């Protein structure tokens, strides 16, 4: 692969193309030195919530349990037990999650860099969308005009609805899990037509409008994104800390026949 890292108004291009592993040499060393220098001086933004007991989850998904099973006092060392579904916390959906005819497209079948790429952040907060409402393609195009940029082929799209403010471990967690705005069909198709790599959001179901627990049709999950192997990421955090352009990197777990996986996503800004 190659990495395009946004650097104060322009891209730095680093060649890391998937190819047979080289046996060394000057060119590889130069590439590694350049990459190391960029990453050493880069700012990293953690885009994941903490995995912990009582964190918000999709209402029908398994409860998240983090238990201090093994302790220093009892066992001489410390180790916790985690119980959670594949779609807990910041996570990725792959086609098998929704599309019954694509059960061969599970998370373990994709390359390790499936969620690496140049990213563009859309600040949707000024639109003031409410639970159940759909943001339109016209509104997306207007935002692109204002920020003088737009999603390109291979980009990772990050949608900041401003929904992190509803994230809580208290009894009000259900509001985050059962209420959110989404996108209309034309907006979903707009990103699909541009052949983006993935779309992520700070909401629990990305493009899907939900109001008081009523889940409306998801054009991204059902029609345009997952069927075209455009990955969907949900429950991202700290999107308000990102510039319009950054480099995005997240690693899913290699779960056999996985419908998705928790991820540890990060934005890299240099």
Q: Residue 7 — pLDDT band, cuts 50, 70, 90?
A: low
Domains of the chain: 2-41 (no CATH), 44-269 (3.50.30.50)
**For residues 63 and 50, what is the distance between their CA atoms, to the nearest angstrom?**
15
Structure tokens at 120: 């563009």
- Give mean pLDDT, residues 57-86: 97
Q: Residue 17 — pLDDT band, cuts 50, 70, 90?
A: very low
Can you give 105-158 as a three-state secondary structure string?
Answer: CCHHHCCCCCEEEEEEEEECHHHCCCCCCEECHHHHHHHHHHHCCCCCCCCEEE
What percent of the chain shows pLDDT beyond 70? 90
Could you tell me which of 33, 35, 30 has the C-alpha nearest to residue 14?
A: 35
Q: What pLDDT score was predicted for residue 27?
A: 82
Rg (CA), the chain: 19
- Which helix (H) or strand (E) covers residue 73, if one does? helix 72-75
Q: What pLDDT score was predicted for residue 168?
A: 98
**pLDDT tens for each residue of 140-177:** 999 999 999 999 999 999 999 999 999 999 999 999 99
Q: Residue 28 — pLDDT band, cuts 50, 70, 90?
A: confident
DSSP string, 40-71: HT-EEEE--PPP-TT----TTSPPPEEEEEE-
Q: What pLDDT score was predicted for residue 102?
A: 98
Q: Residue 25 — pLDDT band, cuts 50, 70, 90?
A: low
66 Cβ contact partners less than 8 Å away, ≥ 6 residues apart? 51, 52, 53, 80, 81, 82
Q: What pLDDT score was predicted for residue 24?
A: 57
Q: What pLDDT score was predicted for residue 16?
A: 47
More confident residue, 14 or 38: 38
Q: Which residues of 87-99 are buried (b: 16+ CB within 10 A; e: fewer)?
A: bbbbbbbbbbbbb
Q: Residue 67 — pLDDT band, cuts 50, 70, 90?
A: very high
- Report the mean per-residue pLDDT for the chain: 93
Which single residue is written with the structure tokens 């919530």? 49
What are the backbone dihedrals phi and psi of residue 131, each rounded to the nearest 5 degrees, phi first?
-55, 135
More confident residue, 15 or 89: 89
Q: What pLDDT score was predicted for residue 123?
A: 98
Q: What pLDDT score was predicted for residue 194?
A: 98
CB 162 within 8 A of CB 114: no
Partners of residue 45 on adjacent β-strands: 267
- Look at residue 269 and tell me whether its pLDDT is greater than 60: yes
């Amino acid at each position: 692969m190659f990495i395009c890292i946004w650097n104060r108004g322009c891209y730095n291009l680093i060649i890391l193309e998937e190819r047979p592993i080289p046996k060394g040499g000057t060119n590889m060393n130069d590439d590694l030195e350049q990459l190391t220098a960029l990453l050493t001086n880069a700012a990293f933004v953690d885009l994941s919530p903490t995995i912990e007991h009582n964190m918000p989850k999709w209402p029908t998904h398994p409860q998240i349990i983090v238990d201090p099973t093994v302790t220093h006092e009892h066992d001489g060392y410390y180790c916790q037990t985690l119980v959670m579904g594949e779609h807990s916390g910041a996570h990725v959906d792959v086609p098998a999650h929704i599309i019954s005819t694509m059960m061969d497209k599970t998370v373990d079948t994709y390359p390790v860099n499936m969620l690496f790429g140049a990213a563009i952040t859309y600040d949707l907060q000024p639109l003031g969308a409410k639970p159940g409402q759909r943001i339109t393609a016209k509104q997306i195009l207007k935002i692109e005009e204002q920020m003088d940029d737009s999603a390109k082929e291979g980009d990772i799209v990050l949608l900041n609805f401003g929904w992190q403010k509803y994230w809580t471990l208290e009894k009000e967690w259900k509001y985050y899990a059962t209420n959110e705005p989404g996108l209309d069909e034309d907006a979903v198709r707009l990103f699909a037509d541009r052949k983006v790599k993935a779309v992520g959001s700070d909401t629990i179901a990305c493009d899907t409008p939900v109001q008081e627990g009523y889940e409306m049709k998801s054009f991204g999950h059902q029609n345009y994104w997952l069927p075209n192997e455009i990955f969907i990421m949900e429950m991202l955090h700290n999107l308000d800390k990102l510039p319009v352009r950054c480099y995005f990197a997240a690693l899913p777990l290699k779960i056999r026949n996985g419908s998705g996986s928790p991820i540890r996503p990060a934005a890299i800004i240099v």
